Structure 1
Amino acid sequence: MATKVLTLVGSLRAGSTNQQLAEATVLNSPEGVEVSVYSGLESLPFYNEDHDVESAVPAAAQALRDAAGAADALLLISPEYNGTMPAVLKNAIDWLSRPFGTGAVKDKPSAVIGTAFGQYGGVWAQDEARKALTIAGANVLEDVKLSIPNSVVRFAELHPKDDAEVVGQVAEVLANIRTVAEAN
């Protein structure tokens, strides 16, 4: 049985290099790993505890929770916006963290990767996402990392799925996620 990895992408822009990196994960997942990229984060309302009641959870939030609950692991792909993760990704983590202590990310193997224009590949944003996931209760795989710098230049004429180095790194990230998910 394949390990199901739900991927959340912090960039909503269709042509973003992080969206392309997500495509590369789908196309280059190793045997035994099934990657799906979640669509709909742009429809997710900002987290508001007043709206997070059993009978009135917004449909978009419930859909995200259901998708995460059905997955064996999470992979977040984050650009870096002003030195941190995009609000849409933080908002998704907030919805997935509730109800506190039993949310959809509780103990779920999770990793964060990404690419950014800067020389460090978005490591600050990825570190912030790992921190938020940890506090939300996820089993964050601290050793499973991939930060690809200079994205605009590196992927100007080459899609990440066609970059042999990136393909190998993505496959390794997913294999590591599978190993931890299967051990749970």
Structure 2
Amino acid sequence: MKIVGIAGSVRPGAYVRKLLEASARELPASADFEIWDGLDQVPPFQDGPLPPGVEQLCRTLSGADGVLIAAPAHSALPAQLGEALEWAASRRSGAVLVGKPVAVVTACLYAHEATWTQIELCRALAAAGAIVHGVDLLVSPAVSQFDSEGRLVDPAFRARLCGMLEKLCAPVPVKPVVPFARTTV
């Protein structure tokens, strides 16, 4: 199973990048994990052909079995992440998130920050047709949450995260397609 990770911040050394890397360490051994680092190459959504950064994003997402997004907590989606999701949801991109499992984790100081980020991300991902698994976890950038190997320290946090990642890596049940039958009354 191939999982693609996206850190929802373009800042060098962003805390959510560490959270993404720590989350990847908790994935099942059978998962192949790759971080997509092109968020800074995604322009605002517009008409016309797909820009090169968006083509790379869509190619990467279409080849993935699931997606893991680590996002900073804000009252709105980080702009670049919102643009990437809008492109990924578009018909021109092939709507690459339709039916794809996506897990979302957030880093924040306060619970309400995680809630806002989770709501906005889940709304954007659901609109794109993704199957969303989210956990609003309090991971404070102010306190050391990682051990010397980059793993999450808090066992309760790791347990909740592992539960979400198990859902991400679980096979997606395929529902049988029922042909449309027109009836006359």
Superposition TM-score, scaled by structure 1 size: 0.82
Query: TM (normalized to structure 2)?
Result: 0.81
Distance change >3 Å, CA 152–CA 164, structure 1 → 2: closer
Which protein is richer in helix relative to its size?
Answer: 1
User: Which residue in the other structure is 2:137 paired with?
Assistant: 148
* Equivalent-residue separation in structure 2 for 1:67 and 1:150 (angstroms): 28
Inter-CA distance 109–162: structure 2 relative to 1 (3 Å threshold): closer
SS at match of 1:78: strand
Give the Å deviation of 1:121. 5.1
Matched, 1:20 2:18: yes
Out of 83, 88, 94, the position equivalent to 2:80 is 88
The answer on whether the counterparts of 2:5 and 2:67 sit within 8 Å (CA) in structure 1 is yes
Alpha-carbon distance between aligned partners in 2 of 1:150 and 1:171, rounded to the nearest angstrom: 15
Paired with 1:157 and 1:93, the residues of 2 have a C-alpha distance of 29
The answer to whether the aligner puts 1:10 opposite 2:8 as a matched pair is yes
Taking the aligned partners of 1:157 and 1:65, their CA distance within structure 2 comes to 31
Q: Where do 5+ consecutive residues of structure 2 fail to align?
A: 175-185
Equivalent residue of 2:43, what SS? coil
2:60 counterpart SS class: helix
Unaligned ranges ≥5, structure 1: none
Given that residues 114 and 122 in structure 1 are in contact (C-alpha distance below 8 angstroms), is that contact kept between their aligned partners in structure 2? yes
Report the counterpart of residue 129 of structure 1 in structure 2: 121
Shift of 1:47: 1.0
Q: Which amino acid aligns with 2:70?
A: I
Query: Percentage identity across aligned positions?
Result: 23
Given residue 171 of structure 1, which amino acid in structure 2 is its aligned partner? C
Larger relative contact order (CA 8 Å, sep ≥ 6): 1
Corresponding residue of 2:162: 171
Q: Work out whether 1:118 is the aligned partner of 2:110.
A: yes
**Pair 1:27–1:77, CA change in 2 (3 A):** same
The superposition leaves residues 12-42 of structure 1 with CA deviations (integer Å, 9 ceiling, x where unpaired) of: 2232221111111222322222222110101
Call closer, same or farther: CA 1:58–1:101 in 2, change over 3 Å: closer
* Secondary structure, counterpart of 2:72 in structure 1: coil
Whether contact under 8 Å (1:24, 1:167) holds in the other structure is: no
Q: What letter is aligned with 1:96?
A: A
1:161 lines up with 2:151 in the alignment = yes
Shift of 1:150: 5.5
CA RMSD of aligned residues (A): 2.3
Max Rg structure: 2
SS in 2 for 1:25: helix
Equivalent residue for 1:106?
Answer: 98
Cα drift, residue 171 of structure 1: 2.6
Moved segments of 4+, more than 6 Å: none
